[in-house]
Structure 1
Amino acid sequence: MNAESFPLIDLAGAPHARGRAYGAAVPERVARSVALYRGQMQRRGLDQAEQYRLARGFLPTIEAYDPAYLEEMHGIAEGARVALEDIVIINCRTEMMFGYETLDKAEPKAKREPDDGCTGIIVMPEAARDGRLIHAHNWDWREECVDTGVVLRIRYEHAPDILVFAEAGALARHGFNSAGVAITGNFLMCERDYQKPGEAPLALLRRKLLEAHNLAGAMAQVFGKSRLCSNNLMLSHADGEAVDLECAPDEVFWITPEDGLLVHANHWISPIARVKLRDIGIRNNADSIYRQRRVEAALRAKRGDIGVDDIKAALFDEFGKPDSVLRSPKPVSFESISATVATTIMDAAARKMWIARQPYLSRVFAEYTL
């Protein structure tokens, strides 16, 4: 790996030992993640004591979802020499940053709206030049994350091995496993968000999907649990299948590829969802509409001959800059800077992932293998 790459961390063993090795491998990156989200929460008016109190409130939820994940978080905290509460904040940062006003309220009202985006692509084998499914993603979030990202290569005894990109200290963001299952995620919002406690914090849910032995098992995890807030999940399998799950806290709306393509940004697409829900996020992310359309149109024009170069070109589209598919840094709420932190392309059949760090500056991809 070079200076432009995210560090690769090999992990194995029991959850606590795995977590401890993770934290010890990149303590400086975990510290940056801690500083980022402490700062984000402080600018929302929550001091460290209040942050930790809210984080401790998530411990029963995490343990009920999977006790091994809580053990792993204990290990990460020990290895990186930070508090367990800090690791919880990193893993529950969406729920805490945008739902903190409602977590303790009897009559909650979600008020904080994210102002960032992501764009995801799945190209089915019949639309691809070489007949291989490709799953790709632009992760748009806080600019500081160009120095907090890591890639985890996790070896399991009783589950598929995993290659996953994550923020340092987090259990997962996007990636694939040795069984051929791949996932990426995009934020969504609706009026149901932050109204009732959820069973599956988003970072933990993504990790759980990557432990599935097949696509059906991954999908079952989504349909079987509630969430505190909405989220979009794009799932694929290397053998040539894909589905997009638009997840409200208490309901899931599904979309399947059309003409060999599946593209999603940050607005609800399912016709049923658009009738049943109110799209709150679109108010701060109207560019999502043309981002999704432009990427789909660019790839549809090459249908049957879509190569990795075409996917890169679509994800590097700068129409409407800085509010473009490839987001260059721009100020957003709470004195933050938003940007495309990383562009990821995955070929799960080949067990390879390519990631370009800070692609608005450098479009050099580093290769990671499982």
Structure 2
Amino acid sequence: MTSQPGPNLQIPRVHLEGSSYEIGFKHGHVLKEQILSQLEIYREIFQQNCKFDWPHVRSISEGFKTSIGLLAPELLEEIGGIADGVADPNVDIIDIVALNARSEIALGQWDDGCTSLAWHIGDKQILAQNWDWRVSVGKNLAIAFIRQAGKPDITMVIEPGIVGKIGFNSSSVGVCLNAIRARPTSTSLLPIHLLLRIALECPSVDAAIAKIESLGGAASSQHILIADLHGGRALELSPLGGVYLPEDQYGIIVHTNHFLENKLVQEPPWLNGSPFRLERARSLCAELREQANSKGEDLDKKITPVVLRSRIFSDTANSPQAICCSADPARGDVGNVETLFNIIMIFKKGETPRAEVVFGKPSISSQYHSEILTL
């Protein structure tokens, strides 16, 4: 059975500032119950999907802890703060590292699917996605607001215990994430969730790409869709190198859960709905553009969060592996994946960056809870 957030759901909002350790400590303290729940959920998922018991997960996490300490010591301090903030004798920094490196430890064996979109229209940049993952995680999601000296302010939708996720900053830089199932992985590089956070600490897309490259790239194959006021880029990252895709002639980038151009890694077909969602989203964007042109409408005014949610992100074609994903009972626990939230970020010159988030399926308005996010 699945359970969707209802309109009365209260999503925790945590305001974090100070030193790296202080940010982590408050994160761990305020979201303690959610973090403990996340640890239980991931123990189960690692066992189901990978046949890894928790001691094995922790042993792999030790390698990532070393790499994080070398490449991103401030984030390791924050992770340590989270562990201390949880203040549970059964939880230490290695457990929190495991949450942050969950995608890498799993060796690409997760089943999460997502559909992301960047659309540059005039002086407006849209960055949006549906995030699809295990239903059990949905109840733990939170919103984090982070303020650090010398860096842009950050707003993210987070999985508690993880330092980076999907969101945007006060410099109008935003990130979305698509999981990719490919080998190899590398414990000598940074997990993707840390790279998401690092990207959001940058003032521009170009600066974020340069920073990621300076760190050697990603520890696993993943796609970050990143955008700022000047446009979007699709970052197809891997331990063996990255490929960066530009917008098409209409200012659009659509991405799902397979690489489009990065041929550096071994990527067997794994989620047969991914190519369908890619072409479906592209087609729906084209329909919106053509309808606006045929009616002489201003595309900038037509493409609103409401329109994007109703016309693209609520789409159920090819269900259960649709843009708006539903759980697949035929696949048992492994198929218990569905759209947990939709986020639509809007960046415009001279305006404060903002986002609209709905927790739950955007296709069922009676079952979702909406939030407006600004900085």
- TM-score normalized with structure 1 length: 0.87
Offset at 1:27? 1.0
Distance 1:197 1:48 in 2: 17
Q: Do the aligned partners of residues 263 and 71 (structure 1) sit closer, same or farther apart at CA in structure 2, a change above 3 Å counting?
A: same
User: Once superposed, which parts of structure 1, at least 4 consecutive aligned residues long, lie more than 6 Å away?
Assistant: none
Identity, in percent, stands at 25
Provide Cα deviations, 1:257-293, integer angstroms capped at 9, x if missing partner.
11121111112222xx35x55432xx32121111111
Q: Do the aligned partners of residues 336 and 79 (structure 1) sit closer, same or farther apart at CA in structure 2, a change above 3 Å counting?
A: farther
RMSD value, Cα:
2.1
Structure 1 residue runs without a partner (length 5+) = 100-111
Task: Tell me the residue number matched to 2:70.
Answer: 64
The answer to whether the 8 A contact 1:5-1:366 is kept is no
Structure 2 residue runs without a partner (length 5+) = 1-5, 290-298
The answer to whether the 8 A contact 2:103-2:110 is kept is no
Task: Tell me the residue number matched to 1:32.
Answer: 37
Q: Do the aligned partners of residues 89 and 22 (structure 1) sit closer, same or farther apart at CA in structure 2, a change above 3 Å counting?
A: same
- TM-score normalized with structure 2 length: 0.86
Task: Tell me the residue number matched to 2:169.
Answer: 177
Task: Tell me the residue number matched to 1:212.
Answer: 202
Q: Secondary structure at the match of 2:357?
A: strand
Q: Do the aligned partners of residues 87 and 348 (structure 1) sit closer, same or farther apart at CA in structure 2, a change above 3 Å counting?
A: farther
Task: Tell me the residue number matched to 1:322.
Answer: 320
Verify: 1:249 aligned to 2:275, yes or no.
no
The correspondence for 2:121, drawn from 120, 125, 132, is 125
Provide Cα deviations, 1:142-194, integer angstroms capped at 9, x if missing partner.
1111112111100111111100111000001111111111111101233x422
Distance 1:80 1:27 in 2: 5
The answer to whether the 8 A contact 1:137-1:343 is kept is yes
Task: Tell me the residue number matched to 2:281.
Answer: 295
The answer to whether the 8 A contact 1:198-1:226 is kept is no
Distance 2:152 2:11 in 1: 23
Provide Cα deviations, 1:130-151, integer angstroms capped at 9, x if missing partner.
x521110111111111112111
Q: Secondary structure at the match of 1:152?
A: strand
Provide Cα deviations, 1:298-330, integer angstroms capped at 9, x if missing partner.
112222342222311201100011110101122
Task: Tell me the residue number matched to 2:56.
Answer: 50
Q: What is the aligned residue count? A: 345
Offset at 1:333? 7.3
The correspondence for 2:359, drawn from 348, 357, 360, is 357
After TM superposition, list the pairs within 5 Å mapping 1:175-324 onto structure 2. Answer: 175-190=167-182, 192-194=183-185, 196-224=186-214, 225-237=216-228, 239-258=229-248, 259-270=250-261, 273-274=262-263, 277-280=265-268, 283-303=269-289, 304=299, 305-312=302-309, 313-324=311-322
Distance 1:144 1:189 in 2: 21
Provide Cα deviations, 1:228-262, integer angstroms capped at 9, x if missing partner.
3201111100x231111111222111111111211
After TM superposition, list the pairs within 5 Å mapping 1:34-113 onto structure 2. Answer: 34-43=39-48, 44-81=50-87, 82-97=91-106, 99=107, 113=109
Q: Secondary structure at the match of 1:302?
A: helix
Provide Cα deviations, 1:342-364, integer angstroms capped at 9, x if missing partner.
11111244322221112165244
**Structure 2 letter corresponding to 1:55:** S
